[in-house]
Chains A and B, each alone.
Chain A
Amino acid sequence: MSWGTLVQRLFRGKGSKEEARNRLQMVLVLDRLGLSSEQMEALRKDILETISRHIPIDSERVKIDFVHQHTPAEVVINAPVRRVRPTVEAPKHSAG
């Protein structure tokens, strides 16, 4: 390992393999389905809209992943729920 790589490694942490793996898995699902990245974006928007109609979610952090652990691959949607202050006052505890 050269000094350059060593220094890079110190700052970057683990090797570049994980990046290769993740990028490949993503691109291959699109390749296999014949989906373009625009279609993928459209899917993301649709999902986001549908969920937020019922649950408040953090739209910036919605992630769609394809998981290959099982065949066929699964679509995993990660949509963090936004913490909402209750607007309606909580029912008061009746004393006794």
Chain B
Amino acid sequence: MSGRAIVITSGKGGVGKTTATANLGVGLAKHGRKVVMVDGDIGLRNLDIIMGLENRIVYHLVDVVRGRCQVRQALVKDKRFPNLCLLPASQVDQKEAITPEQMRDLTAQLREEFDFVLIDCPAGIEQGFRNAVAGADEAIVITTPDVSPVRDADRVIGLLQSSLGDPQLIINRLSTDMVRRGDMLNQQDVLDILAVRLLGIVPEDEEVVIAGNRGSPVILNARSRSGQAYERIVRRILGEEVAIPEFNGSGSLINRLGRLFLRR
């Protein structure tokens, strides 16, 4: 068996890589897949706290690579899904503590056992990025509809195309209100500029902050807009055809009111 190794990357920091990794991990596990999430951000680990698993870490990625423990010993089992694991990053080492070759070997080992290996990439395009990308065979680029993340996403897409081919794009934190006012790039604008395939759009949602506070990814909150968006993305990754709803804020107030009534 050989699972899919997907790196989640962005170039720019703070656009939601870790949040996306956590939600995709939980979502794929909810659909019964065996999933391991690898925190590639050595020195600045965060996937553990977003997942609510920060108190269970014994060994980490660098321990595994250095042979200080077995992979099995470093994997932290999720408390909600027995088929979901986290391989935490080290908090004390530097990005240079491991090499792309070591990362490639580790990923190869993990995909023997898991259906999905999700690699949370650190910000930037230096060694940490090269490590995270080394073992992957697919990439998801995440951006928000702001000028600097889009610019950095373009750079990262260029770098990925030479090794992994075309990545897929997630547009995160899109504000329907601002799009409606013409004060935010919409889905089409971002796609025109970046020219890659769209995997999904996650609307701006306060629930993401609350989910982070609780260590319980927002996809577990089936009533949240962002949770529903992640659920659709997960199903697309699994090969289902799921339409991407328009977050263009299209329609006047009357239209929107109409929709509100029609919903029942």
Contacts and interface: CB of A to CB of B under 8 A. Distances in A.
B185 A20 contact: yes
Contact of B154 (A15, A18, A21, A32): A32
A54 interface: no
Interface of B is mostly: helix
Contacts of A28: 151, 154, 193
B181 A1 contact: yes
B181 A15 contact: yes
A27 B148 CA distance: 11
A20 B151 contact: no
B147 A71 contact: no
A43 to B, nearest CB: 21
Interface residues of B, number: 18
Nearest to B152: A31
Nearest to A19: B147
A8 B146 CA distance: 20
Interface in B163-180: 179
Contacts, number: 45
B150 interface: yes
Contacts of A18: 182
Contacts of A1: 181
B155 interface: yes
B6 to A, nearest CB: 25
A81 B155 CA distance: 37
Contacts of B154: 28, 31-32
B183 A15 contact: yes
Interface string A1-42: 100000001000011111011011101100110000000000
Contacts of A63: none
A68 B182 contact: no
B193 A68 contact: yes
B158 interface: yes
A18 B189 CA distance: 9
A50 B195 CA distance: 33
B241 interface: no
- In the A-B complex, the 8 residue pairs with the closest CB atoms: A15-B182, A15-B183, A17-B182, A16-B183, A20-B147, A28-B154, A21-B189, A14-B182
Interface of A: 1, 9, 14-18, 20-21, 23-25, 27-28, 31-32, 68, 71
Given A17-B186, A32-B154, 12 more contacts: A15-B183, A16-B182, A17-B182, A17-B184, A20-B147, A20-B189, A24-B151, A24-B185, A25-B193, A31-B154, A68-B193, A68-B195
28 contacts: A14-B182, A15-B181, A15-B182, A15-B183, A17-B179, A17-B182, A17-B184, A17-B185, A17-B186, A17-B189, A18-B182, A20-B185, A20-B189, A21-B192, A21-B193, A23-B147, A24-B147, A24-B185, A24-B193, A25-B193, A28-B151, A28-B154, A31-B154, A31-B155, A32-B154, A32-B158, A68-B195, A71-B195
